[in-house]
Structure 1
Amino acid sequence: MTNVVIIGGGPGGYEAALVASQLGGSVTVVEKKGLGGSAVLTDVVPSKSLIAASEVMSKVRDAEELGLRPASGAGTLFDAVTVDMCAVNQRVRSLASAQSHDIAARMATEGIRVIDGLGRLDGTEAVIATTHEGAEERLPADVTLVATGTRPRELPDAKPDGERILNWTQMYDIDERPRRLIVVGSGVTGAEFASAYHNLGIEVVLVSSRTHVLPSADDDAARVLQASFEGRGMTILSESRATAARRAGDGVVVSLADGREVEGSHVLMAVGSIPNTEGIGLAEAGVALSKSGHIVVDKVSRTSARGVYAAGDCTGVFALASVAAMQGRIAMWHSLGDAVAPLDLRTVSSNVFTAPEIATVGVTQGEVDAGLVAARAIVMPLKSNARAKMQSLHEGFMKVFCLPTTGIVIGGVVVAPYASELIHPLSLAVATKLTVDQVAQAFTVYPSLSGSIAEAARRLHTGGEEDEMY
């Protein structure tokens, strides 16, 4: 029987453990915080649970456009709803804990051993597990998977204190409603928290070092999101770099590089992440790291050390739970001799859970504009969609990319409520190399938001020019 030892119980780790067990391996997982890792306990599950509450408030805020009023006839529906941050965060923490326990139960059912503690490589043939009580155990390993994730990056002069100066793992311990939340960083994490708290009716100041939010996203999508944020009253300080944050009475003050200061009740420092790759024996085992400290892997999750694989955010490949899980599965399929296909990032769909959401798959507008990919594209504004009109949706669009000659769909962007659900037909098209004609010929429900995807495909058949968005 093959001994498989996995360091890290997040999506990359626990999904790999399930596959390894299925293929007959003797599997041990070493996890220091709890099964599910950061994705379940402090990142994906809690943040999206918080966002679920904010989505309801967003609908309440816009309900008047649909003719809905409070029964009393005074004020607005939004004013009539009170956000209890203590209750919201209590639910968030409860859901995260329940999900972690569900994973633990599945591990037990599959006969997978779980050790609560720290793991480090002992060469390439064993892992040393150290429990939180200090006991050590040497675990022989024919196959080792490192899935240790990342942690929030900290600025030297803005150290989180867990009360007023916070990183994203600490946001769910707030029991009071922030008077004014300053969010430093306009990447995915910063944008999602800024959007969620603003929709909960809290004043938000977003400090962005770039010209617009989500600098790595589709440029058209980022501009729509920024316009939406500002149109709803969020303050965005573009091209502003934060250098420090300090406590000031019952609030905080954030210092900017140009000498300005921003005052608020709380500040979220969302300034990137650092891989958890130091002190676990990687260099000694011959595992190569990048300059950023991420583990270098190939498309089947192999590291430079024989028998050692890696998955998840610690590899720096694509910081998504879905990618981490697939990397872990691929590692086990490959190492245990099952059929396997290399990781293909062209088929990965991703989503930013802001309001509106932004979902993408395949090639990007940047690649097309730079001449790296030859493609035709068309944009269908959401405001032209019948279902969107019924729901009083004004912001967003559907964009489809296809190859010029064959019409094969190679990418897409959706900016809309629940874009995370709407991107799936485009993901299927990209993964299976469907043509725009095949997409256009499939039935859609009328009325539906997904109808705009089929309409875009029909227009690409005729070779129409790209629509104007604005």
Structure 2
Amino acid sequence: MGVTNYDVVVLGSGPAGEGAAINARKLGKRVALIEQQQQLGGNCTHWGTIPSKALRHAVKEIISFNTKPMFREIGEPRWFSFHNVLKNAGKVIAKQVKSRTQYLARNRIDIFFGRASFVNENTIEVLDRNGTVQHLETKQTIIATGSRPYRPADIDFSHPRIYDSDTILSLKHTPRRIVIYGAGVIGCEYASIFSGLGVKVDLINTRDKLLSFLDEEISDALSYHLRHIGVVIWNNEEYEKVEGVDDGVIIHLGSGKRFKADALLWANGRTGNTQGMGLENIGLMPNSRGQLDVNEHYQTVLEHIYAAGDVIGWPSLASAAFDQGRSAAGNAASTEQWRFVNDVPTGIYTIPEISSIGMTEQELTSAKIPYEIGQAYFEAMARAQISNETVGMLKILFHRETLEILGIHCFGDQASEIVHIGQAIMSQKGEANSLRYFVNTTFNYPTMAEAYRVAALDGLNRLF
């Protein structure tokens, strides 16, 4: 059993771990990265963001083929199984693993595959699959172990028809009907994916509306379009029990409703991966959801031990996790290369997708900020008409007096790309952050970016 000394040891190779390890190395630190699985990339690459978005893209192409008039001249609509469509995701995962491995190797980061646990505040034990044990001595540690789906103890996830958002990727058949419990981001994304494959979907929402953190108009648009493609949404419902039977699953709701389906996807919350890490040996106590509390520098209560990514909770996005990891490493190296990551755009990959940044109408109204709205509907945009992706809108919220951009909300095809133009202007200081930028800037035509000019002109026309 050998002992190796490092400046920084990173636990986990997802976006937060990768960002932390590479930045620490670039700042001159000797770095080790420990990954429990046998391949790099973490949950994001293997079970979360990458496979679900690759799956969504394939389903979106199927929808296009089955609905657009040009393709009807080629032949009749086609039916695709979930399992066959999922094969596309496997190809993307392999490419991502290769890229991530090359990044870490190029930066000469030592990689250990195995389970990590704290022996003490400066010693980490790595147990690999062969039973070999190594001890790593480290000055600083960054915990970036991610999260997993939350599993209530009263639900039998060993039943072949009951899935969570990880195990759903092992689904071998295409159900005729699926119940999705939990209408958060993951639940809504999978609702649109399965509906796109022709599956009847019941989406059970424990709240009074979908994704209530969104601007209300965008949330309403999502509800409308999910219903339009056949998703049945049940708001304000809680499960009482889940019953697995030979030919499917029966879910009993507290309201007395009961649904039977070929499969159940449980998509109601996530839990931080902090179990079995020996945190009790160093006095770190996760909360009830397995998450670690950190300060604005991403330090835990032990100032030389940091945490970043899903393991600290909000916002639980791969994009934010990468920046949080980089920032934690920057702080650990005592440089100015860190920031508290709070200006995070949402990226919700439903069909159509949603993205937003900044304040919502509800927040502006509560804060009594005088604002106005500029809107551009995709159905009037030439690029959207050409691509036949006319569902959606761009909505700009701005200050009535200063014209400062206060919020950008986009619903429709490429929303997660479109939002970044507005984000760039919002990040500017003083007069540079102004609605007039979009009026005084020439956009390529036809493009979806041109929606900013249309929305800005609409907003200025509302002023009096």
Whether the TM-score (by the shorter chain) exceeds 0.5 is: yes
Answer yes or no: is the 8 Å Cα contact 2:6–2:32 preserved in 1. Answer: no
What is the alpha-carbon distance in structure 2 between the residues aligned to residue 382 and residue 286 of structure 1?
Answer: 54
Q: Where does residue 260 of structure 2 map in the other structure?
A: 263
Answer yes or no: is the 8 Å Cα contact 1:128–1:137 preserved in 2. Answer: yes
Q: Where does residue 427 of structure 1 map in the other structure?
A: 423
Q: CA deviation at 1:186?
A: 0.7
Which of 48, 52, 66 is the matching residue for 2:53? 48
Point out the more displaced range, 35-44 or 284-293: 284-293
Q: CA deviation at 1:210?
A: 2.2
Q: Where does residue 8 of structure 2 map in the other structure?
A: 4
What is the alpha-carbon distance in structure 2 between the residues aligned to residue 419 and residue 356 of structure 1?
Answer: 8
Q: CA deviation at 1:293?
A: 3.8
- Does residue 200 (structure 1) correspond to residue 200 (structure 2)? The answer is no
- Does residue 38 (structure 1) correspond to residue 34 (structure 2)? The answer is no
- Does residue 179 (structure 1) correspond to residue 182 (structure 2)? The answer is no
What is the alpha-carbon distance in structure 1 between the residues aligned to residue 405 and residue 341 of structure 2?
Answer: 16
* 3-state SS, counterpart of residue 442 of structure 1: coil
Deviations 1:214-253 (A, max 9, x none): 2332221111111111112222222222233222222221
C-alpha spacing 1:97/1:159, structure 2 compared with 1 (3 Å): farther
Q: Where does residue 139 of structure 1 map in the other structure?
A: 136
- Does residue 87 (structure 1) correspond to residue 111 (structure 2)? The answer is no
Which of 323, 326, 333 is the matching residue for 2:330? 333
Which of 206, 210, 219 is the matching residue for 2:207? 210
What is the alpha-carbon distance in structure 2 between the residues aligned to residue 214 and residue 52 of structure 1?
Answer: 22
Q: CA deviation at 1:17?
A: 0.9
* 3-state SS, counterpart of residue 122 of structure 1: strand
Which of 281, 296, 300 is the matching residue for 1:299? 296
Q: Where does residue 358 of structure 1 map in the other structure?
A: 354
Unpaired stretches in structure 1, ≥5 consecutive residues: 466-470
C-alpha spacing 1:458/1:259, structure 2 compared with 1 (3 Å): same
| Aligned sequence identity (%) | 25
Q: Where does residue 447 of structure 1 map in the other structure?
A: 446
What is the alpha-carbon distance in structure 2 between the residues aligned to residue 365 and residue 201 of structure 1?
Answer: 35
Q: CA deviation at 1:162?
A: 6.4
What is the alpha-carbon distance in structure 2 between the residues aligned to residue 30 and residue 374 of structure 1?
Answer: 50
C-alpha spacing 1:90/1:219, structure 2 compared with 1 (3 Å): same
What is the alpha-carbon distance in structure 2 between the residues aligned to residue 143 and residue 168 of structure 1?
Answer: 33
* 3-state SS, counterpart of residue 114 of structure 2: strand
* 3-state SS, counterpart of residue 143 of structure 1: strand
What is the alpha-carbon distance in structure 2 between the residues aligned to residue 279 and residue 255 of structure 1?
Answer: 34
Answer yes or no: is the 8 Å Cα contact 2:374–2:460 preserved in 1. Answer: no
Q: Where does residue 408 of structure 1 map in the other structure?
A: 404
What is the alpha-carbon distance in structure 1 between the residues aligned to residue 146 and residue 159 of structure 2?
Answer: 21
Alignment of 1:42-441 (within 5 A): 42-64=47-69, 68-71=71-74, 77=76, 80-161=77-158, 163-287=160-284, 289-290=286-287, 292-345=289-342, 347-371=343-367, 374-433=370-429, 434-441=433-440
C-alpha spacing 1:100/1:126, structure 2 compared with 1 (3 Å): same
Give the partner amino acid of 1:9: S
Answer yes or no: is the 8 Å Cα contact 1:155–1:243 preserved in 2. Answer: no
* 3-state SS, counterpart of residue 321 of structure 2: helix
* 3-state SS, counterpart of residue 329 of structure 1: helix
Unpaired stretches in structure 2, ≥5 consecutive residues: none
Answer yes or no: is the 8 Å Cα contact 1:363–1:411 preserved in 2. Answer: yes
C-alpha spacing 1:122/1:432, structure 2 compared with 1 (3 Å): farther
TM-score of the aligned structures, taking structure 2 as reference length = 0.92
Deviations 1:319-362 (A, max 9, x none): 110111101101111211332242241x3112110111110112
What is the alpha-carbon distance in structure 2 between the residues aligned to residue 372 and residue 314 of structure 1?
Answer: 35
Answer yes or no: is the 8 Å Cα contact 2:270–2:289 preserved in 1. Answer: no
Give the partner amino acid of 1:398: L
TM-score of the aligned structures, taking structure 1 as reference length = 0.91
C-alpha spacing 1:458/1:282, structure 2 compared with 1 (3 Å): farther
What is the alpha-carbon distance in structure 1 between the residues aligned to residue 125 and residue 400 of structure 2?
Answer: 54
What is the alpha-carbon distance in structure 2 between the residues aligned to residue 57 and residue 199 of structure 1?
Answer: 8
* 3-state SS, counterpart of residue 217 of structure 1: coil
What is the alpha-carbon distance in structure 1 between the residues aligned to residue 296 and residue 337 of structure 2?
Answer: 11
C-alpha spacing 1:37/1:279, structure 2 compared with 1 (3 Å): same
C-alpha spacing 1:289/1:463, structure 2 compared with 1 (3 Å): farther
Q: Where does residue 19 of structure 2 map in the other structure?
A: 15
